[in-house]
Structure 1
Amino acid sequence: MLKIGLLGAGRIGNVHAKAITSHAASKLVAVSDVNQEAAGKLATQYGAQASTSEAIIANSDIDAVLIATSTDTHSDLIEAATRAGKAVLCEKPVDLSLERALACRKIAAATGRPVMIGFNRRFDPNFAALKAAVDRGEIGRAELLSVTSFDPGPPPVSYIKVSGGLFRDMMIHDFDMASWIMGGLPQTVRAVASSIVDPEIGAAGDVDTAVVTLEYADGRIAVIKNSRRAVYGYDQRVELLGSEGLLSAGNMIENTVVKSTKDGVVSAKPEFFFLERYMRAYAAEWAAFVGAVTGSGVVPVSLDDGVNALALAEAATRSAKSGMAVEVATVM
């Protein structure tokens, strides 16, 4: 039985607490948060103890930590936890700074402890099935990937100001998806971005609408589209054209009822947000982490994967500002 310390009791911490306590081979024993009341409430809900991050990391009875704190603390906590001999599952991104993430990777690697980054979309049953079909060669050589990721509405501007920007906060999931599906990093990144959803987002120095093109050395292409506003719900789709066919994974909808009349055909909208769409993915992600820690020790989403996605976010940020393509090798 893995004994787990949860660092962070916010919205995503609550999601992870449910996954931890629902797994037969893991037990939530301690919760920390800068908001002590939130930590106490979540700990009580699941029969754990409220504590501090420092105490959890120092506790030799705790086998692993799940880091769901603010992004600017991730690298420090990864380093501290791995130095203390603990396995780590950390929410994305590794850090707001690529340079800091690279340093963190070096330190964590020296400890030999497993570190997994929380790119939960890899564990969505539909996306996972698409990836498995690619790996089986069912559409031949993958040639053109399209990833659509639209939020139903923008987060508060107060969040935007500390998020690291759309490329590091939102599109980083899609950068990881592209690298996962296409089997590696692109050679160049081209980004076009603007703020047309909410002028306050632009005033805060961020964008809310973006298209990024990833160009691979062998000629393959991936296109990622992001928007902070889709009034009809959480739009999450992947389409992959190959030399021998097409694979696509569509939206999860609120229900499967379809009404067909002389006036037309109407179906339900996509599920409204990530909590509805990806709950199964979070459970599968946690199961994969537990399996890796108790088995081979090789996690399915590594710290390298986290650094690679952050490098693409950095390249996209530079490209959007300069209007020029950016070589990925120049940012690593």
Structure 2
Amino acid sequence: MTRDAGFAVSTDRPEVVRRIGLLGCGRIGRLHASLLTELAGFELVAVADVAEAAAAGVAESTGARVESIDGLLAADDIDTVAICTSTDTHVDLVLRAAAAGKAIFCEKPISLDYALVDQAMTAVEAAGVPFMIGFNRRFDPGHRSVRDAVANGTVGELHTLRITSRDPAPPPPEYVAVSGGIFLDMVIHDFDMAPYVVGSPVAEVYARGAVRVDPRIGEAGDIDTAVSVLVHEDGTLTTIDNSREAVYGFDQRVEAFGSGGMAVSDNPARHAGWSIGRDRRTSEPLPWFFLDRYLESYRQEWRAFHAYLSGAGGSPAGTDAARACTKVALAAGKSWREGRPVRVSEIG
């Protein structure tokens, strides 16, 4: 079963070690490699990357062996693959891993093309292999607390969800030119967070955007500032605001408002210390690097994946999530370009 589901870490199952092959040894691959050597229940067996030096570096730091991509996918001592390569390679690697019968963890997005996403997810479902897409923010303790408050009725009938997601500094225009744009490379996290918290799929998107940070991003055909209004199938409204540059740090907030009150996931400071005097108050600024904000969510993501592989429910972010977030992101881009609300059903 690869459909989306909640997760719970079982405490009454014998520990099963999943033997991992890591594809991709760039920044996100190195992060996952480090976590896999730290967390119980995993053994990082082998790594592969087209950049031999990158693979060798991760192997040296983790004790894993270096394999070719073909060798890793064919290895009998690997039961699970973690796909952390560039987005344009994800579909091919998912198809090959599914055909090899491996459990699959894949970083987002699967592809910038919905037809290819659907092709890959259909192959995963046909093969019957476990699958999870890497939406780590689902596992951030603060964000998850908001989702839980909605699910258990603490906020009453949900009226609106508000998500703020701002990066501390813009990416280089060279990245923007190949990333698929702000909706697919950045806001896609928020397009996944919205139905995860609300508990209802997105039916319609109205997105507006502007270039307010770096004119080179506009010259590359993208925007650096965006606001999206989502209408969920149950009538809930979600607003999302995004910026490529928040000069004060990594700004990530979620607020659910309903008939019984509200639940909020706020920004953590770099540490909890602060001081106050007669006419002043000082506190620490926000984290600057995304790992300072979300490292624990990556740990919890792997723990949830292990629980899923051990039989504790369905995938925490499965094939439905991979399809849905891509559809919403593409609908947002279409809405921005055409200046109108776009039904998610128009994509596909």
TM-score, normalization by structure 1: 0.98
Letter in 2 for 1:104: A
Deviates more, 1:120-129 or 1:252-261: 252-261
Letter in 2 for 1:262: R
Cα offset, 1:116, TM superposition: 0.1
Question: Which residue among 32, 44, 52 is the counterpart of 2:48?
Answer: 32
Report the Cα distance in structure 2 between the residues aligned to 1:129 and 1:308, rounded to whole angstroms.
22
CA RMSD for the aligned pairs?
1.1
Report the Cα distance in structure 1 between the residues aligned to 2:236 and 2:195, rounded to whole angstroms.
12
Q: Deviations over 1:118-141 (max 9, x none)?
A: 000010111112211211111111
The aligned residue for residue 205 of structure 1 is: 221
Question: Which residue among 272, 279, 283 is the counterpart of 2:288?
Answer: 272
The aligned residue for residue 249 of structure 1 is: 265
2:171 matches 1:158 = no
The aligned residue for residue 15 of structure 1 is: 31
Cα offset, 1:171, TM superposition: 0.2
Q: Deviations over 1:210-238 (max 9, x none)?
A: 00000124432000111000000000000
The aligned residue for residue 246 of structure 2 is: 230
Question: Which residue among 83, 89, 92 is the counterpart of 1:73?
Answer: 89
Number of residue pairs the alignment of both structures matches? 332
Question: Which residue among 158, 170, 194 is the counterpart of 2:210?
Answer: 194
Secondary structure in 1 aligned to 2:46?
A: strand
**Aligned ranges 1:146-185 → 2 under 5 Å:** 146-185=162-201
**Residues 4 and 64, structure 1, Cα contact 8 Å, conserved in 2:** yes
Gaps of 5+ in 2: 1-16
Question: Which residue among 309, 329, 346 is the counterpart of 1:293?
Answer: 309
**Residues 98 and 310, structure 1, Cα contact 8 Å, conserved in 2:** yes
Deviates more, 1:315-324 or 1:136-145: 136-145
Letter in 2 for 1:103: Q
Deviates more, 1:289-298 or 1:27-36: 289-298
**Residues 151 and 199, structure 2, Cα contact 8 Å, conserved in 1:** no
The aligned residue for residue 106 of structure 1 is: 122
Report the Cα distance in structure 2 between the residues aligned to 1:214 and 1:42, rounded to whole angstroms.
41
Report the Cα distance in structure 1 between the residues aligned to 2:51 and 2:141, rounded to whole angstroms.
34
Letter in 1 for 2:142: N
Secondary structure in 2 aligned to 1:233?
A: coil
Secondary structure in 1 aligned to 2:97?
A: helix
Secondary structure in 2 aligned to 1:54?
A: helix
Q: Structure 1 vs Structure 2: percent identity of aligned residues?
A: 44
Question: Which residue among 237, 240, 253 is the counterpart of 1:221?
Answer: 237
The aligned residue for residue 315 of structure 1 is: 331
The aligned residue for residue 5 of structure 2 is: none
Question: Are residues 46 and 319 of structure 1, via their aligned partners in 2, closer, same or farther at CA, if it must alter by over 3 Å?
Answer: same
The aligned residue for residue 46 of structure 1 is: 62
TM-score, normalization by structure 2: 0.93
The aligned residue for residue 297 of structure 2 is: 281
Secondary structure in 2 aligned to 1:278?
A: helix
Report the Cα distance in structure 2 between the residues aligned to 1:176 and 1:59, rounded to whole angstroms.
33
2:262 matches 1:262 = no
2:77 matches 1:61 = yes
Cα offset, 1:296, TM superposition: 4.3
**Residues 186 and 214, structure 1, Cα contact 8 Å, conserved in 2:** yes
Cα offset, 1:168, TM superposition: 0.4
Cα offset, 1:104, TM superposition: 1.0
Letter in 2 for 1:259: S
**Residues 19 and 80, structure 2, Cα contact 8 Å, conserved in 1:** yes
Cα offset, 1:81, TM superposition: 0.4
Cα offset, 1:297, TM superposition: 6.6
Cα offset, 1:83, TM superposition: 1.0
Question: Are residues 108 and 280 of structure 1, via their aligned partners in 2, closer, same or farther at CA, if it must alter by over 3 Å?
Answer: same
Question: Are residues 93 and 245 of structure 1, via their aligned partners in 2, closer, same or farther at CA, if it must alter by over 3 Å?
Answer: same
Cα offset, 1:246, TM superposition: 0.7
The aligned residue for residue 98 of structure 2 is: 82
**Residues 114 and 297, structure 1, Cα contact 8 Å, conserved in 2:** no
Report the Cα distance in structure 1 between the residues aligned to 2:42 and 2:156, rounded to whole angstroms.
40
Report the Cα distance in structure 1 between the residues aligned to 2:286 and 2:72, rounded to whole angstroms.
39
Letter in 2 for 1:59: A
Report the Cα distance in structure 2 between the residues aligned to 1:4 and 1:160, rounded to whole angstroms.
31
Letter in 2 for 1:157: P
